[in-house]
Amino acid sequence: MASSGALTGGAGRFATPDEAAAVFEDGMVVAVTGSGGGILEADAVFAAIERRFLTTGHPRDLTVVHGLGIGDGQATGLNRFAHVGLVKCVIGGHWSWSPAMQDLAMRGCIEAYSLPAGVIAALLRESGARRPGLFTKVGLGTFVDPRREGGRLNAESRQDLVTLVQVDGEEYLHYKPLHVDIGIVRGSSADAFGNVSAAEEASILDSRAVALAARGAGGLVIAQVKHRAELGEQDPRLVSIPAPMVDVVVVSPTQWQTYAAEHDPAFNTPAPPGWPASTIAPPTDGARAIVALRAAMEVVDGDVVNVGFGMSAGVVDVLSRQGRLHDIQLVIEQGAVGGSPESGDLFGLSRHPSALMDSLTQFDFFATGMIDVAILGMGETDRAGNVNVSKLGPATVGPGGFIDIVHSASRLVFCGTFTARGLSVATEGGTLRILREGSVHKFVDHVSQVTFDAAGSPARNQTALYITERAVFELGPDGLTLREVAPGIDIERDILRHMDFVPRMDGVRTMPAAIFEGDHQPV
C-alpha cells in the first residue's frame, strides 16, 4: 500500500499511518478536524505525514484547512504541518494551538487566511455537496469582509476567498467553494466495512463536513480510530462517518480521547445522581473574579447561554455556586448542550452534557437565534464598540466561533480586564484598589482587527455590554458609553487616563457593591 491507487479499491481499507501518509501528493488540499486538548485529533496520521516530509521532502506545498484550533501548542496537531515547504497555504479558524504555524504566517513563509469556524464547517459541507460555496451574512463588517482584509493574514495571501454579493437587494458574503483532495477525520472504532463510530469520543466536531468536502471533490477520506470493531458491534446511531464515505482506516491503539485521559466517560454520558454541576475552578485572580461576578448578573433564568474561552468561562463557575445552572441552558460551539463546560486546554467539552451535536449542526442552531446571551472575551475595544479577539500583537489568533456567535446572539457580554500586562487589583472594604496598573491600553481609538463589527449590531437588534473589573460600558448609537464604575475608582485617574478616547458618560452608576465584598485578592 505505497501509493494512492493501492488504497482506493473500496471503502474501509485498513492501513498503517505511514501507508496512509504515502498517498499525499504535492500540492494537495487537505481538510482536517479536531480541537484543542487533543479532541478528535488524528495525530498518528499527522505525525506520519510530518515524518515522511522530514525524511523525503514530500509531500510539499499542501493547503491545510481547519475550523478549530488543533494541537498541544508544541508538537502535535497542526504543529506537525508547520514546516517550510510542507505547507504552502493555511485556511484556519483558530491558530493559537500552533505557535509554529503562527510564526510561519508572521514571517510570510506561507499564505495564511482566517475565517470563522462555523463558516469553514458550513463551507466544507456546501463544497462537498457540490453547491456554489456558502452565502451568508456572517462576517459582514469584520476582517473577513473583502472591504477590509478578506480574511488575509499577510502580504503573501492574495487569493480572493470571499466576495461581497447582493441577493434581493441585501448584502451577503460569498465564501467560494473549496476543492478538498483528502479529508482526515477521527473516531473511536471502525468495522471491517469502514463504518466509523464516535461512541467513545467527546465530540464529533466538524468531521462529517470534512468527509463531505473530500468525497464531493472525488478525494479520499482517511479515518484514524483506536480499535477495529467486529461487524455488528457498533451502535449504528453512534456511527459518525458511514463506510461509503471512508477510504482508508488507520488503527492507532495508543489514541487517547483527549490529552488529559485515555477515556473519560463524563464527556459523553449523563450525570449521575447528586453529581456537582460544575468542575471549573473558581477564579483566583481579583480582576477575573470581579468580571465573572458582574457578567453572571446579565444571565436571566431560562436563558440559552454561550460562554467563550478564557475569562468568560469563569461565569459558569459563578452560576454554579449560585445554584443557577439548572435554570439555564449552556451551549458550546464544539457541540455540547448542558453539562458543565471545561476550561483551559479542554475548552469545548462539557462534563455530562444533556446533548451532543456535531459542531456544524450546533453553528446552524446558533444561526437561528437560539442564543439569548453570549459571554465572550475581548482583546481590545475601540470608541465605536468594535472588538478584536483575532489578532493580538503580531500573532494571529483567529476568531474560532466568535464571529458566528456574535452575529446571531440576542445579547452580547464582552469580558476582559481594563488594561493588560501587569495589572493587579484587590478588593478592600467593598471597594476596588488598583495595586499595579497594566502597561497596555485595551480601549483604543481603532482596534487592529475587527472581529465584532459594532455598526452591524443595531440591524440585528442586539445589545452589547463591555465588562471590566473597574467599569462597564454599553454600546450606543454613537459608540461606547460608560455606564458603571467600581466603588473606589476615580473616573479621571483610573479610567480616562488609561483609554485612548473619551467615551460618552451618561448616567454613570456605581457597580453593584456585592461584587466587591468578597476576598478577591491578587494571586
CA atoms lying within 13 Å on the CB side of residue 408: 22
Of 238, 125, 128, the C-alpha closest to 187 is 238
Residues 169 and 10 sit within 8 Å (Cβ to Cβ): no
The dihedral built from the CA positions of residue 32, 33, 35 and 38, taken in this order, carries a sign that is negative
Of 216, 179, 214, the C-alpha closest to 89 is 179
85 Rama sector, left if φ>0, alpha if ψ -120 to 50, beta otherwise: left
Phi and psi at 461, nearest 5°, equal 55, 40
**Cell numbers of 220, please?**
479520499
The dihedral built from the CA positions of residue 146, 147, 153 and 154, taken in this order, carries a sign that is positive
Q: How far is CA 23 from the centre of its chain?
A: 30
Residues 150 and 161 sit within 8 Å (Cβ to Cβ): yes
Q: Is 333 a catalytic residue?
A: yes
- How far is Cα 454 from Cα 517, in angstroms, rounded to an integer? 33
Residues 115 and 390 sit within 8 Å (Cβ to Cβ): no
- How far is Cα 96 from Cα 334, in angstroms, rounded to an integer? 17
Q: Which alpha helices (H) appear in 340-443, and where do they start and end? A: 359-367, 402-408
Reported in sequence order, the residue ranges of 78-230 that DSSP labels E, i.e. its strands, are 87-92, 111-114, 134-136, 162-167, 170-175, 182-186, 189-190, 196-197, 220-225, 227-228
318 by Cβ neighbours in 10 Å (0-12 / 13-18 / 19+) ranks as buried
* Angle at CA of residue 504, ends 500 and 507, nearest 5°: 135
Three-state DSSP class for residue 335: coil
DSSP-assigned letters across all residues of 448-461: SS-SB-GGGTGGGT
Of 355, 357, 397, 394, the C-alpha closest to 377 is 397
Instruction: Please tell me which residue in 19, 41, 333, 342 is annotated as part of the active site.
Output: 333
The residue with cell 460600558 is 473
- Catalytic residue numbers read 333
